[in-house]
Amino acid sequence: MIPFVDLKTQYAGIKIEVNAAIQGVLDSCQFTLGSEVVEFEKEFAAYCGSPFGMGVNTGTSALHLALLAADIGPGDEVITVPFTFVASVAAIYYTGATPVFVDIDPRTFTMDPARLEAAITPRTRAILPVHLYGQMADMDPIIAVARKHGLVIVEDACQAHGAEYRGRRAGSMGDMGCFSFYPGKNLGAYGEGGMVVTGNAEYARKIRMLRDWGAEQKYQHVLKGYNYRLEGIQGAVLRVKLRYLEAWTEARRAAGRRYDRLFAGSPVPTPEAMAHNRHVYHIYAIRTSRRQDVQASLLADGVQTGIHYPIPVHLLPAYADLGYKAGQFPHSERAANEVLSLPMYPELTAAMQEKVAAAVRKAVG
C-alpha cells in the first residue's frame, strides 16, 4: 500500500535530533512559549522574509488573530474563496465579520483577481487569499486592488511554507501571513501549531498580546485576548524540522515534476504551476469527472488518495446562513467535484510514483 501521507518515515530520519530537542524542553520545563518558541519565531520569520513572527497554537488561530489585529469585526466584510479548507472562513466568522466569496481561477485553484472588484462593497475591509495546495495566489493584481480600495491583505499560507511568487515568499507579501504547522503540513509539528508573520510592528505587538490573554505584562490585560500560545515542545520540534524544510521542499518539487512527466501525453489533467511561482506541492491534485471510480480503482491497486475538498465552503451546511446557492461559484464547485489528491511527500520514491501513475492511467482508461 502506498499511503497518502507518511509521517513515520520522516520521523525515523530525524529521530535522534527530535528526541533530543524534546528532551531539552522537558529539562527546561518551558512548556508554553519559552526560548524554543522565541528562537523558532525568529528563524521561521526569517525563512519567510518577514521581520516578525508570532507563534500560536493553530493556523486557524493565526488567521483569527491577524484579522483581529487589523481591527476587523462585526459589520465588516472579508473577501476569500469558497474552494478552501473550512478554517479560512471560520476564522472570519470568529471575528464577527462576514465572509464574501469570489471564485477561483480553475488553472491554479486560487483566487481569481479579475473577480475581486465586483465583490467589494463599502463594508469590505480585507482580502484573504488562500495559497491552496502550495501555490501562491496571483498576488500582484490582488495587492493592486487592495491598495486602490484601502484593504488589508491577510495571506492564508497554511499550505504554502516556502512557496514563492516572483521571488517573494508566502506570508511576506500581504500585511500579514498565516501558517499552520498541523502534522501533515509541509512543516508540521508533533501536535498543533501556527504562526503569523508580518512586517508591521504594531500588528506584531497586538498579536503577541492577543495570543496570551491580551496582556502587556502578566495580569495587565489591555486587550480581550485568548489562550492561543504555541507550546515549547512544538517550537523545539519545529526548529529541528525547519533545518530540513528546503531539502524536503525540493524533494516535493522533484516529485511534482516527476508526476507531470509520468502523466504527459495521457488524458489525466495535472496541476498547473504558474511560471512565476515556486509551487511547494503540499498537495498534488489531478482532476477527473469519474472520481469515485478512480479512487476505488486506485485503492484496489494499493494507492491511497485524498480529496481536498469535496464541498466548497459556500455549500457546507454550517455556512448555509450566508445564503449562497449551488451554481454561484462554478469553478470552485467543479473543482470540488473533480479533484483527487495523489500521495505527495518528500520521502515518496520514483518507484512509488511510477506505481501510482500506472494505477491512475489504468483507472482513468
Ligand X SMILES: Cc1ncc(COP(=O)(O)O)c(C=O)c1O
Residues of the shown chain interacting with ligand X in the complex, contacts defined by CB under 6 A: 58-60, 84-85, 87-88, 130, 156, 158-159, 180, 182, 192, 194
Q: How far is the CB of 335 from ligand X (least distance, A)?
A: 14
Nearer Cβ to ligand X (24/183): 183
Give the Cα separation of 216 and 98 in Å (integer). Answer: 29
CB 233 within 8 A of CB 241: no
Q: Which residue, judged by CB position, is nearest to ligand X in the bound state?
A: 59
Nearer Cβ to ligand X (182/259): 182
Nearer Cβ to ligand X (22/128): 128
How wide is the angle at C-alpha 263 spanned by C-alphas 262 and 264, nearest 5°? 95
Give Cα 98 distance to the centre of its chain.
21
* Gyration radius of the chain over CA positions: 20
Q: How far is the CB of 208 from ligand X (least distance, A)?
A: 19
Q: How far is the CB of 104 from ligand X (least distance, A)?
A: 13
Nearer Cβ to ligand X (64/331): 64
Q: How far is the CB of 85 from ligand X (least distance, A)?
A: 4
DSSP 302-343: TB--B-S-SS-GGGSGGGGGG---TTSSHHHHHHHHHEEEEP
Nearer Cβ to ligand X (89/303): 89
Nearer Cβ to ligand X (179/203): 179
Q: Closest Cα partner for 171 from 79, 48, 88, 279?
A: 48
Q: How far is the CB of 6 from ligand X (least distance, A)?
A: 18
Q: How far is the CB of 159 from ligand X (least distance, A)?
A: 5
Q: Closest Cα partner for 236 from 96, 27, 52, 94?
A: 27
Instruction: Write out the three cell numbers for 148.
Output: 486602490
